[in-house]
Structure 1
Amino acid sequence: MSFVVAAPEVLTSAARDLESIGSALNEAHAAAAGSTTGVLAAGADEVSGAIATLFSGHGQAFQALSTQAASFHQQFVQTLTGGAGAYALAEAANASPLQTLEQDVLGVINAPTEALLGRPLIGNGVPGAPGQTGGAGGLLYGNGGAGGNGLPGQIGGNGGPAGLIGSGGTGGMGGAGAAGGTGGTGGWLYGNGGVGGQGGAALAGINGGLPGHGGTGGNAVLFGTGGAGGQGGTGLTGANGVNPTVNSTAATGAPGSDVVVGNANATGVNGGAGADGGLGAAGGTGGLGGGADVTGTGNARAGSGGPGGAGGNGGAGGAGGTAATSSGEADGGAAGNGTVALAPGGAGGAGGFGGVAESGHGAAFGHSGGSAGDGGAGAPGGTGGVGGAGGDGGRGGLLVGSGGAGGAGGTGGVGGSGAAGGPGGTGGFGGFAMSSGGGSATAGDGAAGGAGGIGGAGGTGGAGGSGGHGGAAGLIGAGGDGGIAGTGGVGGLGGVGGPGGQGGPGGFSQAAPGNSGFGGYGGNGGHGGTGGTGGNGGGSGIGGVGGPGGLLFGGPGTNGAAGPGGSGGSGGSGGGFGIHGDGGAGSTQDGGNGNDGSPGAQGPSGQHG
């Protein structure tokens, strides 16, 4: 019975299978009992009765034997299950003492060297605290501990060195914007260098927004391969486009002077232009056109409203002046036009109101509304940052060992998204016309709404980082391959086009019975702005140079390949259409409604890097 090996889980599984087989047999025996233990005679004669008695006796004997077999089967299953449990208990009881024995033995062996040199004789080094070097491996045998990952802005800890035999620890990952830790040195006699830690991703406000480079791979000493360099950190994401806030409005233009006469023609003075506001303020509203008032007989022509001033948001046009005459033709003043927004995402200026015309005995003509300004294009997204460089591979063993591969370059940052285009201005209202005597009245038409601004272009993705150089081999060995260049960053999304402005409503008219009164037509809605162009994908970085081969034997490493360029960003959605202006009411004929504007087109996607 020496060297008995038992697998408790296998015994338990076998016991369950046997129990299932026994249950199936018991069910089959029970199903057959009724028809085999009480066989009916085929006829009333003595021979048939004897045959039935014979077969019934055999069936009853079989059932008795089956009952004994089932009892034995159940006892066997219980015995097998108990044996599996006993083996499991014995195994669990032996495991803890053996583990304790192993720990006790290693504790006795390592105690002198830990007391004298601060490191064990046999065993792996402990991982480092954040940003700290990993513990050293055992003097005779053991791997170095991994370096601790860095906190934001903190370099990752270096991997711990190995002892006589063992591999160096892996370098810790750099915190945001910081380099990865260097891999630990391999064993003095034999062992590979540790892998360099990955560089930290870029973060605004830390290290100038630059990513960390990958850590250098650890060196081998006599025999062993150098550690691979760590990958560079990801570049900074480009800032999203932000349209400036327009907080104030420039001064309104000076109003035109009113002119009042008796029996003569009168012409009002035009209103002045609104003041310019610069990028930070809306343009001023144009001045009101001067009125023209004829108290007797004569034609009245009102002054024009001034144009809106230039500004971050376009200035609104001034309203045309009112013309009034007791007997003669009355012409309302022309409305001032709204101006185009100068600031990114600014709103177009609204058109001014058409001038009102009133005549006692004569024709009256209201003026059309002023044209609306277009919205400003959205601010573009920022360019993504360059990816971090990959770490260089470690040197191979001095006697025999290949150099470590260079680390891959980091991925370029994603381009920022473009901002939305500004809304188009509202079209000016048509001027009213009223004639109370023998003349027609024709109201002014509403003006079209301004077009929405184009969405801001997405930012270009950042270029991928350069690959690390391959490590050099020793006397015999191949040079490490250069690291692959990082992938270019994805281009940013184009901004949404601005909505079109609403068309101005037509003016209403009122004429005396028997005279024509025509309402003004409503203005068309402005077209939605085209979506912004998606940002171009970032270009690839440069692959690392392969390390030199061994001095006696071994070829150089292969240069790293260029990484793929980043994908271009998607274009922005087009802006919504402007709603039409309603036609004005007329005493004879109403004006027709304007047409809705068309929605803006989808912006084109950016080019792949």
Structure 2
Amino acid sequence: MTGGNLHGGDGGSGGKGGVGGAGGDGGAGGKAQVAGFADGTEGVGGAGGEGGSGGVAGDGGKGADAAAFSGAAGGNGGHGGDNGAGGAGGTGGAGSTVGATGADGFSPITGGNGGDGGNGASGPAASAGGAGGAGGDGGLYGNGGAGGDGGDGVVGGQGADATAAGASGENGGDGGAGGMGGAGGMGGVLGGHGGAGGIGGVGATGGSGGLGATGAEGVTGGNLHGGDGGSGGKGGVGGAGGDGGAGGKAQAAGFADGTEGAGGAGGEGGSGGVAGDGGKGADAAAFSGAAGGNGGHGGDNGAGGAGGTGGAGSTVGAHGADGFSPTTGGNGGDGGSGGSGFQGVKGGAGGVGGDGGLYGNGGTGGTGGTGGIGFNGSTTIGGGNGGDGHTGLTGGDGGAGGKGGALAGHGGDGGTGGVGGTGGTGGSGGTGTSGIFSSANGGDGGNGGDGGTGGTGGVGGLGGQAQAAGFADGTQGVGGAGGVGGTGGNAGNGGHGANADVGSGKAGGNGGDGGDPGVGGIGGQGGAGSIAGVEGAAGVAPTSGGNGGDGGNGASGATGVNGGAGGSGGDGGLYGNGGDGGDGGNGGKGQVGSTGPVAGSAGGTGGTGGTGGQGGAGGSGGALAGHGGDGGDGGSGGDGGTGGTGRNGANGITGADIDGGSGGKGGNGGTGGAGGAGGQGGQAQAAGYSDGTQGVGGAGGDGGTAGIGGDGGDGANAVAGSGERGGDGGHGGDPGNAGAGGQAGAGPTSGGNGKAGSGVTTGGNGGDGGDGGSGAIGVKGGAGGAGGDGGLYGNGGNGGDGGTGGKGTVGDSGATLSADGDRGGAGATGGVGGAGGDGGAKGGNGGLGGSGGTGGMGGTGGDGAHGADMASGSGANGGYGGYGGFGGVGGAGGTGGVGGQAHAAGFTDGATGAGGDGGQGVPAASGPGETMVVKELTGASLVRHRMAARAVTAEVGARAGLAVKAA
């Protein structure tokens, strides 16, 4: 009643409902009648009654509305009833609505806040939780109340036991879904804050998480902030995460929008169940979106649950409200990461990054989840073979990056692909998104995931493309590495590096290493390097064509297994250079032979070593004169295995009115049983540029015990430049049958003269032949390799020297102390010297014949090879004949080689090689046209003879050149 100092009385609270009954509403507070006195408080809504057995629980009562001050909270909903059908949880009572401003004389800022909504109750078994109550609206200048949280869902009921022996029991009930969060109350009419949305309840096993409620918008006024959106609830086991609520929107410049609620995380997969997906992050009207929730992890064994997919990042809209700077466009939210798969299951994909608003950047794509390991094989009954192991699954793909904002935001980066499970392929990297319009950089491509054991590496993601001069393309993702081979399994190949539209391609992944012995795994092939595309967009300098990525290296083979081949280098873009080819992997060693079954019996033969992998080819130069990439080197062979061949260098590319690119270098052959051949150098395409050098032949491997040494590989032939030297022969093996020294590879033949515009004197010289390997005890040395022929005007290469013969074997001791021992074995003959190469077709000098090898003790020195004739033409000198090799102790000297014949007046026949000196007590053989040597020369004397012969050759060659010039 009216009076001088009266306070309003408090309203009574509503009574609690009986079982299954609703709670009573709260009573209104009494109103004060004089300024300076307080209104009574509002009564709280009563709690809802509990549900009876099989009955529905009562709803909570509504909080009383306030005339001027804050309303009271709504009552909480009652809990659901016991098992049976099961009652739903009660809904929380709505918060009170705050009315207009206070009574006359009160400040208008005293508008009350809305009451908070009550929380929803949890349901009984197998039932959903109750929804949270809505928050009350604020009065003038008052804030809206927060929405109540949704109740948690409850675990499903237990299945009934089987009714008879051997019968199956009934399935358990589904878990209840979490209740939805209550909506936030509206802010007061003159600027209260919007209430936050309630959080969604957690789902029970098998139930979905409740959705986060939307935050209420702030009401128009002088200084209002928007309320924050609630986060989405986490999914229960196997349930999806709730979506985040949107933030309330500010109503005036200088005030902030509410933040967006994040998507809830996906629930874990139950035993045999599928993991829940992550919830989506809420979109923002002007600011940055929230991140998407992560996918849940896969469930336990059983059928197996797939890893959840990461929630998509939010999409950011246009720029802010009027009065906001247009640079305030938000960034897209990042995509959630994919959950890992459990055993034998693929990992979840990463979520897509959100797009940027005006001027905002795109969000980063989420990383793909890791694939699960394969199942173990099961064992059959009765001691049989185990079942095959389940193959591991592919790692999840990385999410794509979000687009840049419409007015030049940067593109988001692609997510990295997940790692494959054992035997599974790595996920592909996500593609980086292009920048937008005038001034944005492209996003980086994600890297490919590594392959699981025995699995292939994932492909790298493509980089986004810049849209204007002066801005950068995103980098390309690198190919994932191939997985290592398991026992007896093949290793995975490396993933392909991403191709570039403009920038440089990335390297291909390396191949995995081969598995352990058994059958033995093959080394993985290196991934191919990426191909760089054409030049940049309009306005970009035409020199910006990217370089091709390098090929990955081949992996080594396991025991007795070939090495993997190197990957090819990528081609260059316009003006870009080709990438280098990867090197071949080394071959594995041969397996050890088995022990003999009984004492004294022969053991098994050791396995052959694996061949070295081939080197990768160099990438082609760009279409407007990029340089060709180098060929990769061949891998070395394992013991007894052949070395891999070096790959050819790529040619430089012809340009219409520009300089041609240089050719790439040929790769070298690998060493091994037989040396690999050298790769050919690429050819220059314009005057003034160099051909690539030729690869050298690989050296022959040494012979094992009683094994034969490997032959040296051939040096690569040159198209116009000089050929390379042939590889040297390997040395013979240890005693037993004893291995012969390997033959040196022939020197290359160089071709015609250079391109138009080059001097006619640019014909290359032939490469020298390799030297023959020395024989083992009692074995002949290897022959020297022939010298290569000269190109036009070029000189022939020198023949290689023959290898030294092995010493004789030691005689056995006498059977008794007074008996004579056996005679020692004869020394082996030295190898024959290699023939000199022919001079070039227009007058190159013939090459020197190689000297014969020195005979082993008691063995004859090898014959010197004939010097090559000079070629017909304007005039050239014949090559000197090689000297005969020294005889071993007691052995005859080798015969000298015949000198090459001159083919024009004024030029000199090559001198005939001298006979080699005999061993002690044996005269030397005579070379044709030479006096017999009666005095044994020392090694130093022989060196002087050879040096003198070569000096004469050089002198004669110089004079020949002067004669050509004079002519």
TM-score over 0.5 for the pair: no
Larger Rg: 1
Which TM-score band applies after superposition, normalised by the shorter structure? 0.3 to 0.5
TM normalised by structure 2 equals 0.24
Select the structure with the greater relative contact order (CA < 8 A; seq sep ≥ 6). Answer: 1
TM normalised by structure 1 equals 0.37
